[in-house]
Amino acid sequence: MSKVYFASARAMKWKYDDSMPGKLERLLKEFNLSNYFEPKEWVAVKTHFGSEGAHRIVRPIFLRKVVDALKSITAKPFVTDTVRIKGLDYLEVANQNGINHLSVGAPVILADGLYGNDSIIVKAGEIISEIAVASVIHDVPGMVVCSHVKGHIQAGYAGAIKNIAMGGVSSKHRECGWKCGRGAMHTVGEGKLIWHKERCELCYQCEEICPLETIKFENELFAYKEEDCWRCGRCTRVCPSGALSLPGDDERFMRSLAESAMTVLSTFKKGKVIYINFLTEIQPECDCMPMADVPVIQDQGILISDDIVAIEQASVDMLLKAPPLPQSASEEKNIVKGDDIFSKLSEKPYLIQIEESERLGLGRREYELIEI
Ligand code: SF4
Ligand code: SF4
């Protein structure tokens, strides 16, 4: 049975030790990083830099604690993420969100280069035959995966699996383009956008949000290049009147996430990756959207484990027990205590990610929770 260490977000005493940064320090000590990383070894601290407007990420102070803990065992950490917009602009997003060398105490670098196409094709599995793993993540010997747990347009739930499945690969490869990057997962359901003209309010939010700028309205008629669309679903999410739909195979998509996570992890030796899940500011959307709504669930705390399946299951179990927060999307959707909040928010079968990851041998759903 895998061990998952946990520190609650509640601060009951007026002491640093009872603060979340203090508890993270204790968790990292308890976990003994020298069991995983060697002196002078380069270690990637993989996080999500957020977006302009999406500020509810893993806070820089927590990244700093991870970096300091790695330095204390004389490992050589750096903080990284794959490129989602133009690389220099993405570094500026990180900077605006408070992630820079000065704040986190280590270099902040792009895992797949300034152009987001510096990646290496790795053989994957049954659903996605191959995928472009970001070159830095491919080559680095050790990694600490720091994930902000939240909801997600298509994955329903986004934690450690999603962080490396989508965030460990490039959006595009220099030779085979976006189809062997993240788009490989988005397109597994092979859905095609449908525009329902009668419902369209001509608000043009879909046009604005498309990361590939493929939507263009001409004479008030929707048009997009199907061959350029990687089926990310953002346009359907922002549409206020349900005028866009993207039919797809959710189960295959969830399974492809697990497969991509397995592929990214296959570039590491056994025992060289650990996971920290931050159940804080648990908002309904991905950190790549241009906003962050208020949390739908109260902060729960921080979990750490060397088993990606166990930590994801423990995170989900905690979220399932938590009540919905008032004045949030939970209230809007009439979600009540005892409901599966993420399922109700996105209507996606998100647990398949975790079940499939176990089937692929990435870890076990059975775990022992050790609270510090
Ligand atoms: S699904 Fe919509 S937002 Fe995403 S790439 Fe296609 S057209 Fe653009
Ligand atoms: S977001 Fe929806 S309503 Fe707005 S222009 Fe696009 S399709 Fe029409």
From the CA of 182, the nearest ligand is 1
What CATH number does residue 216 fall under?
A: 3.30.70.20
- Tokens of residue 185, six digits: 């997962």
| Best CA proximity match to 38, nearest among 142, 193, 158 | 142
Note whether 152 and 216 are same-domain residues: no
Cα–Cα dist 126/371, whole Å: 38
- The full DSSP string for 242-298 is S-EE----HHHHHHHHHHHHHHHHTTS-TT-EEEEEEE-SB-SS-TTSS--PPPSB-
Cα–Cα dist 171/166, whole Å: 8
Q: Is the pLDDT of residue 279 over 90?
A: yes
| Best CA proximity match to 57, nearest among 24, 81, 25 | 81
Those residues with Cβ within 8 angstroms of residue 103's Cβ, 6 or more apart along the chain or in another chain: 60, 63, 64
Residue 62 CA to ligand 2 center (angstroms) comes to: 39
Average pLDDT estimate for 325-332: 94
CA atoms within 13 A on the CB side of 55: 6
Residue 224 CA to ligand 2 center (angstroms) comes to: 13
Note whether 16 and 132 are same-domain residues: yes
Residue 228 CA to ligand 1 center (angstroms) comes to: 8
pLDDT of residue 60: 98
Note whether 344 and 203 are same-domain residues: no
Residue 227 CA to ligand 1 center (angstroms) comes to: 11
Pocket test for ligand 1, best of 205, 215, 216 (most atoms within 8 A of CB): 215
The answer to whether the CB of 244 is under 6 A from ligand 1 is: no
Average pLDDT estimate for 232-240: 89
The neighbouring-strand residues paired with 78 are: 44
Residue minimizing CA distance to atom 6 of ligand 1: 229
| CB contact at 8 A, 189 and 233 | no
| Best CA proximity match to 108, nearest among 70, 74, 64 | 64
Out of 147-151, 180-184, 315-319, least confident range: 180-184
Residue numbers of the domain that contains 207: 191-245
Q: Is the pLDDT of residue 266 over 70?
A: yes
Strand 142-148 and strand 108-110: the pairing is unpaired
Average pLDDT estimate for 123-152: 96
Domain boundary among 227, 245, 263: 245
| Best CA proximity match to 149, nearest among 166, 137, 165, 161 | 161
Token pair 């102070």 in the structure block, residue: 61
Q: How confident is the model at residue 164 (pLDDT cuts 50, 70, 90)?
A: very high
Average pLDDT estimate for 175-190: 81
Note whether 77 and 198 are same-domain residues: no
Q: Is the pLDDT of residue 190 over 60?
A: no
pLDDT of residue 336: 94
Higher-pLDDT residue of 73 and 290 is 73
DSSP letter (8 states) at residue 105: S
pLDDT of residue 183: 84
Note whether 88 and 120 are same-domain residues: yes
Residue 329 CA to ligand 1 center (angstroms) comes to: 23
Pocket test for ligand 1, best of 232, 237, 288 (most atoms within 8 A of CB): 232
Note whether 289 and 309 are same-domain residues: yes
pLDDT of residue 154: 85
pLDDT of residue 185: 86
Mean pLDDT, the chain, rounded, equals 94
Q: Which atom of ligand 2 is nearest to the CA of 222?
A: 7
- The full DSSP string for 23-72 is HHHHHHHHHTGGGT--TT-EEEEE----BTTB--SS-HHHHHHHHHHHHH
Gyration radius (Cα) of the chain, Å: 20
pLDDT of residue 288: 86
Pocket test for ligand 2, best of 214, 218, 239 (most atoms within 8 A of CB): 239
Q: Is the pLDDT of residue 282 over 70?
A: yes
Q: Is the pLDDT of residue 310 over 70?
A: yes
From the CA of 214, the nearest ligand is 1
Note whether 217 and 112 are same-domain residues: no
Higher-pLDDT residue of 189 and 169 is 169
Note whether 218 and 275 are same-domain residues: no
Alpha helix (H) residue ranges in the chain: 20-31, 60-72, 87-96, 101-104, 135-139, 160-165, 183-186, 205-209, 234-238, 250-265, 308-321, 329-332, 341-346, 351-359
Phi, psi of 4 (to 5 degrees): -125, 120
Domain boundary among 201, 217, 245: 245
DSSP letter (8 states) at residue 179: G
Note whether 196 and 286 are same-domain residues: no
Strand 130-134 and strand 2-8: the pairing is unpaired
Average pLDDT estimate for 262-288: 96
Pocket test for ligand 1, best of 231, 244, 253 (most atoms within 8 A of CB): 231
Note whether 260 and 322 are same-domain residues: yes
What CATH number does residue 93 fall under?
A: 3.40.50
Domain boundary among 217, 245, 273: 245
- Tokens of residue 65, six digits: 């604690």
- Tokens of residue 42, six digits: 């380069």
Note whether 201 and 148 are same-domain residues: no
From the CA of 229, the nearest ligand is 1
Q: Number of folded domains in the chain?
A: 2
Note whether 263 and 169 are same-domain residues: yes
